[in-house]
Amino acid sequence: MDREQVRRWESQCIQEQAPACASACPMHVDARKLAECARKGDFKAGFSVLAAAVPVPLIVAYVCDHPCQRQCRRADAGDPIRIHELEKACAEFGGASPTLRVQNKRNREILVCGSELSGVSAAILLAQKGYNVTLHEPGPALLGSLRGLGDGFLPQMAIGTDMAALEALEIEVCYDRELPHDEEAILALRHEYDALFFEAGAWPFTFTGDPATLATRHPGVFAGNAWQELSPVYAVYEGSVAAISIDRYLQGASLTANRENRGAYPSRLYMNTQDQIPLAAVESADPEQGYTREEAQQEAARCFPCQCLECVKVCEYLKEYKSYPKRYVREIYNNECIVMGVRKANRMINSCALCGLCTTVCPENLSMAEVILAARRGMVETGKMPPSAHDLALRDMAFSTSDAFTLARHQPGHASSAVAFLPGCQLSSSSPEHVESVYKHLRETTQGGVGLILACCGAPAQWAGNEAKFAEARAELTASWEQLGRPKLITACSSCIRTLHDHLPQIPVESLWKHIDLALIAPPTAPKRLAVHDPCSTREMREVEDGARALLRELGVEIEELNERGLTTCCGFGGLQQFANPELADRTAQRRAATSNTDYVTYCAMCRDRFSLRGKRAVHILDLIFPADDGADPAARLDPGFSRRQEGRARLKRRLLRDLWGETEAEMDELFELEIAEEVRALLEKRMILVEDVRQAVEHAEKTGEKLEQPGTGHWLAMWRPSCVTYWVEYSGGAGSFTVHNAYSHRMQVK
Amino acid sequence: MSCCPAANPTAYETGVLAASGQRLPHPGGAELTRHAIESAGLRAGARIVDLGAGAGKTVELLRTMGFDAVGVEPRADKPSAQTGLCVRATAESLPFPNGSATAVLAECSLSVMGDWERVLAECARVLERGGRLIVADLYARNPEAIGRARALGHSAIAGMIVREELQASLRAHGFAAELWEDHSRALREFAARFLMYNGSLTQLWGCAGTGASAQEIESAMKATRAGYFLLIATAGNAHRSTPPRSTQWI
Amino acid sequence: MAEEAELMCGKCKQPLVKAQVVASYLGAEFPIELLRCPGCGVVHVPESLATGKMFQVEQALEDK
């Protein structure tokens, strides 16, 4: 909640920055808004945009030299917008006398010498601020140099209308007035008036006013710069600078403070023009007359309009809340909500996938992940995080950090480990058989002992903003690493490598993809063409992405790229999005799945499963390297679902302990036989109960004596719940030989 | 969506739900009601109208929360737990003056009403400007399949809401600034509890007697991905000039 | 399968008796009556319940 940090984040989002046209204009006329009005045919509104910015709008509409047009980004895709023509159209079809607002009358007298655009603008602006303004014109009429331009260029009507402002504002105009030639005369005038402004043409000296403030060495005397008065819009600008300087001077305020954004400056707004179709400007049928209404509307329609929204374009989450990062940041920290109710803000905070795509596409690299994580941490700390948001995910992580799953062993027959394999909890959940195959492969190819660590790196807790649980998980993983003698870790999980890289830099870690020796495995030929989906965790880790691709190429896969490198999207699991906002996660996955019709290949177990859930055919790279024995199509493999994932993990540990380290609870593992009739096997298959589970249940019952007896048949009922499923097995027999009669299961827990 | 409610008694009406031990007979129970009311940000003593109030249990709860609550119930055969909780009236014709309510609550009631467009109009009328309309009900998370649900006879399922339709209707009646929350988990638990203690989903959703089979119901629920939502909208200033009907306390 | 009423606990050598227990899944709790061993507390879940009502309730609670 650091205010400074919040302000920095807000300033990184440029969506609210002025477009190129408005920032190129010294008066900051919002030409983008004007074009929007013109496009709709609302020329009156378009004209009022101009009138809001300049004191002589009708004149400016006709004579402006339009520096805005020179910066117009439309030039990247066709001709720049004919802003000048649009302004003229607004003047013609919607021009009206602007309503003049006079602030409270102030009792100060100001003299303006010279009545070209600069002087006239200064006079009007100062009069609007409430000062008593007198205008001295050496000639017989105002705006002398403009009158010679001809009606075709600048209609007399325009001059007349704008100059009516002088009367309305009670500006005293004196014609045929001799202007002062020397300092003495100027000082004399200075006694009569509280402040003086001289247009450059009316200033008798060669030295000019200070370029930023127009102040001269005489306090209260301000003078214009000749070079600026060549350009009509700059002349108006100069008048506005003078008006501000005089206003500040008379109020005793600093002349220089906070004036950096006055005048033209380079726009910070980024507009991606790459995909815009080039369009030529609309030519008026009668150039003398200028645009007709229709022509103006058509030309105005060529305005993009400029806006950034680069992140919103690529992210379902940012699109969902119909806003952009600057506003999100503000609303999170001001505790306001986009829609009513505190819970809506919580949902918004918990729905971000933390995938980093916005940061990559943002011209200023604003990281919503950074903002959101800080917010989540704050919520957890202050007890405001709704438990249901991440409860399932944190419970799952608790399972992964419990004895049911954790393990840290040296290779069987070794007392030390040069390296250790960290498969990650999701691969262990969906494809425990791959963990076994990879570990076997590493043992065959690496000297010095390959240890095994089954653990969770804590990423779910980090994503949930739960720093305490995250620290615990990291501590446990570190302890396992130290216990094995601090070997180099080889991991199959992108989230693990990311977490270790960012938060446990002391642990050396490498991605598995460089450590697979295909020559040794000699897998069958892979499918011809697959589209690679990079998991979002390793977005910036080129070597991981490259490693996976090298392996795929070795497998003979023709790789299709889904996007430019670094622009992968999340599958919906990142940031725990699928727990906090399943609908949005679905859309995120769906959008990604729809990017190509080709089957996907990825190297994150979670990504693969999430695509499968959306009906998108996807394989894990390990499916290609270690194809299933039964020849089943790996792309058609379904997402195992949340309970089966936990069982997968638990089963993996038990199997490894038993098969590799020869550790089981029951010594009678070799001692007993299990007889299962064909019909019973079929029933088990139908009920999706593994023989493995039946065996373990019987083992458990026999070892602990925890079983029920059915006096009628004399059969025993074993009951066993290894993780999320309770198995009941009806069996009979003894002394090392048992017969299974029936088995069923349920997920509900009963106490 | 216009079967006469009396022809096909729903689970509520046959008293089955009362026996199931639910504290309040709608998904989410009292917890969701409280959450909805809290989210609406009402001042103490605010006047709340509960549409389809049944026996008035929610009205009782609202009164204990400090609100001036009254229920509206059309069916004469649904006795109120105490007198003074509810008035006999239909939601299409509320016996309250214009702008007299701070909030209107419709929990699990829009989906069983025949014509909720008229109900919305009435809500717009009786709500004060800035008043809240609080709706919690079944909705189709997959609206493309809504046809399957609407083909079933009159019941909460056939009446399940399509979000876009409801929101368009709300806008048309001057409502704005909605909160929308998904509470599908509450629906799942509600259905699960009914399954565990009572009977089939057929009974629960009140399709008993229309010939819709359990399979058709289940298929409709699955295809539409039926869920439960909470919506809170703010009333604009559309006050009709319909005079209120006379009040008959029950 | 035999009648539940005759079930004995293999550990405690006592018959199971009717008891109020709580079944839970995905955060939802359901008080029900089942047979429980008065000694060690083990609760018997009959096949008909497990493959019938329980299964339906589990399915209803999962959001598919």
The interface residues of chain C toward chain B in range 3-32, judged by CB-CB distance below 8 A, are: 23, 28, 30, 32
Nearest residue of chain A to residue C25 (CA atoms) = A748
Of C10, C27, C45, Cβ closest to residue A707: C10
Residue A150, both tokens = 């001809």
Which residues in chain A touch residue C45, judged by CB atoms under 8 angstroms apart?
726, 728, 746, 748, 750
pLDDT band (50, 70, 90) for residue B6:
very low
Mean pLDDT of A8-35: 94
Structural domain includes residue B204: yes
Confidence of residue A465 (pLDDT cuts 50, 70, 90): very high
Task: Give residue B239's pLDDT.
Answer: 47
Each residue of A470-485: pLDDT tens digit? 999 999 999 999 999 9
- Mutate which of A340, A350, A391, A746 to disrupt the B interface (most B C-beta within 10 Å)? A340
Lookup result for tokens 């089981």: A664
Residue B218 sits at the chain C interface (C-beta within 8 Å) = no
Task: Answer yes or no: is B221 within a domain.
Answer: yes
Contact B180 A347 (CB under 8 A): no
Confidence at residue A632, expressed as pLDDT on a 0 to 100 scale: 83
- Model pLDDT, residue A636: 84
Nearest to B39 among A343, A388, A583 (CB): A343
- Ranking A83-92, A365-374, B222-231, C44-53 by mean pLDDT, the lowest is B222-231
Percentage of chain A surpassing pLDDT 70? 95
d(CA B74, CA B81): 15
What's the gap in Å between the CA of A706 and the closest CA on chain C?
6
B182 chain-A contacts, CB cut-off 8 A: 583
Q: Is C50 within 8 Å of chain B by CB?
A: no
Neighbours of chain A (3+ CB pairs under 8 A): B, C
Does B23 lie at the interface with C, CB-CB under 8 angstroms? no
Neighbours of chain C (3+ CB pairs under 8 A): A, B
Position A97 pLDDT exceeds 90 = no
- For A718, the closest chain C residue by CA position comes to C10
B156 domain residue, yes or no: yes
Tell me the C-alpha distance between A640 and B137, whole Å.
31
- Per-residue confidence at A63, pLDDT binned at 50, 70, 90? very high
Q: What is the DSSP string of A342-382?
A: HHHHHHHHHT-----HHHHH-TT---HHHHHHHHHHHHHHT
Q: What pLDDT score does A344 carry?
A: 55
State whether residue B141 sits within 8 Å of chain C by CB: no
The nearest CA of chain A is from the CA of B135 a distance in Å of 15
Q: Closest to A339 (Cβ–Cβ): which among B41, B178, B182? A: B178
Could you say which architecture CATH assigns to the domain C4-61?
Roll (3.10)
Q: Measured between CB atoms, does A680 come within 8 Å of chain C?
A: no
Domains, chain A, ranges and CATH? 109-251 (3.50.50.60), 310-385 (no CATH), 390-515 (1.20.1050), 521-639 (3.40.50), 667-746 (3.30.2310)
The residue among A188, A226, A227, A190 whose CA lies nearest residue A205 is A226
Longest dimension (CA), chain B: 49
- Residue B225: closest CA among chain A residues belongs to which residue? A583
- Stretch B185-203: mean pLDDT: 86
Residue B210 confidence (pLDDT) above 70 = no
In chain C, the residue whose alpha carbon lies closest to the alpha carbon of B196 is: C53
Percent of the residues in chain C that have a pLDDT greater than 70, as a whole number:
89
- B186 in any annotated domain: yes
Given pLDDT bands bounded at 50, 70 and 90, which one contains residue B4?
A: very low
Distances (CA, A) of A193 to A120, A123, A132, A208, B57: 18, 14, 10, 20, 80
Whether B235 and chain A come into contact, CB under 8 Å, resolves to no
Confidence class for position C3, pLDDT limits 50, 70, 90: very low
pLDDT, residue A569, reads 94
Confidence of residue B209 (pLDDT cuts 50, 70, 90): low
A254, with CB counted inside 10 A (0-12, 13-18, 19+), is exposed
Share of chain A above pLDDT 90, in %: 63
The reported pLDDT for the residue numbered A720 is: 94
Chain A residues within 8 A of B234 when measuring between CB atoms? 340
Contacts of B191 in chain C (CB under 8 A): 60
Q: Which DSSP string do the residues of A547-613 spell out, in sequence order?
A: HHHHHHHHTT-EEEESSSTT-----S-GGGHHHH-HHHHHHHHHHHHTT-SSPEEES-HHHHHHHHH
- Find the CB nearest B232 among A340, A342, A347: A340
How many structural domains are present in chain B? 1
Q: Which residue of B has its CA nearest to A341?
A: B39
Yes or no, beta carbons of A708 and C51 under 8 Å apart: no
User: What average pLDDT is seen over chain B?
Assistant: 80
Read off the tokens for A255.
Answer: 């002349």
Which chain C residue's Cα is nearest to A709? Answer: C8
Q: Which amino acid, residue B182?
A: D
Max Cα–Cα distance, chain A, nearest Å: 128
Residue B245 counted as domain residue? no
Task: Tell me the nearest-neighbour CA distance from A341 into chain B, angstroms.
Answer: 5
Asked if the model's pLDDT at residue A693 lies above 90, the reply is no
Residue of B180, B195, B196 to mutate, testing the A interface (most A Cβ within 10 Å of its Cβ):
B180
Among chain A residues, the shortest Cα distance to B176 is held by A339
Q: Which CATH number characterizes residue B145's domain?
A: 3.40.50.150
Residues from chain C that touch B184, judged by Cβ atoms under 8 A, are 63
Distance of CA A50 to the CA centre of its chain: 34
**Cross-chain residue pair B196–C63, CB shorter than 8 Å:** no
Band (pLDDT 50/70/90 cuts) for residue A391 is confident
Per-residue confidence band for A12, with pLDDT thresholds at 50, 70 and 90? very high
Q: What confidence tier does A591 reach under pLDDT thresholds 50, 70, 90? A: very high
Tell me, yes or no, if B185 comes closer than 8 A to chain C by beta carbon: yes
Interface test with chain C among A644, A645, A731, A750, by most C beta carbons within 10 Å: A750
Mutation target for B interface from A339, A350, A351, A586: give the one with most B CBs within 10 A.
A339
Work out the end-to-end distance of chain A between its first and last CA atoms, rounded to an integer number of angstroms.
44
pLDDT band at A702 (very low <50, low <70, confident <90, very high): very high
Which of A76, A91, A83, A77 has the alpha carbon at shortest distance from A25? Answer: A83
Domain encompassing residue B129: 5-234
ipTM: 0.94
User: Which residues in chain C are closer than 8 Å to B193, comparing Cβ atoms?
Assistant: 28, 30
Token output for B11: 């689970």
Give the residue-averaged pLDDT of C22-45: 93
pLDDT in tens, A545-588: 999 999 999 999 999 999 999 999 999 999 999 888 888 998 99
Select from C7, C21, C25 the Cβ nearest to the Cβ of A708: C7
Q: In this complex, which of A339, A388, A583 lies closest to B179 when CB atoms are compared? A: A339
| pLDDT of B202 strictly over 80 | no
Chain C CB within 8 Å of residue B223 CB? no
pLDDT tier at B81, thresholds 50, 70, 90: low
Q: Does the pLDDT at position B9 exceed 60?
A: no
- Chain B: give the shortest CA distance to residue C54, in Å: 7
Contact B192 C57 (CB under 8 A): yes
Give the three-state DSSP class for A391: helix
> Is B49 inside a domain boundary?
yes
In a domain, B250, yes or no: no
**Average confidence (pLDDT) over A36-54:** 94
Residue C15 has pLDDT above 70, yes or no: yes
CB contacts of C61 in chain B (<8 Å) are: 188-189, 192
Is A177 in contact with A114 (CB distance < 8 Å)? no
Looking at the complex, does the CB of residue C31 fall below 8 Å from at least one CB of chain A? no
Cα separations (Å) of B199 from B18, B187, B191, B195, C52?
13, 16, 10, 5, 12
- A134 interfaces chain C, CB cutoff of 8 Å: no
Q: Which of A341, A388, A583 sits opposite B179 (nearest CB)?
A: A341
Reported as half-sphere exposure (CB side, CA atoms, 13 A), residue A323 has a value of: 15
The string of pLDDT tens digits covering residues A495-541 is: 999 999 999 999 999 999 999 998 888 888 777 899 999 999 999 89
B39 vs chain A: nearest CA distance in angstroms? 5
Interface test with A, best of B34, B232, B234 (most A CBs within 10 A): B232
Give tens-digit pLDDT for A139-195. Answer: 888 888 888 788 778 888 888 888 888 888 889 999 998 888 888 899 999 999 999
| Chain A CB within 8 Å of residue B195 CB | no
Please state, rounded to an integer, the average pLDDT across all residues of chain A: 89
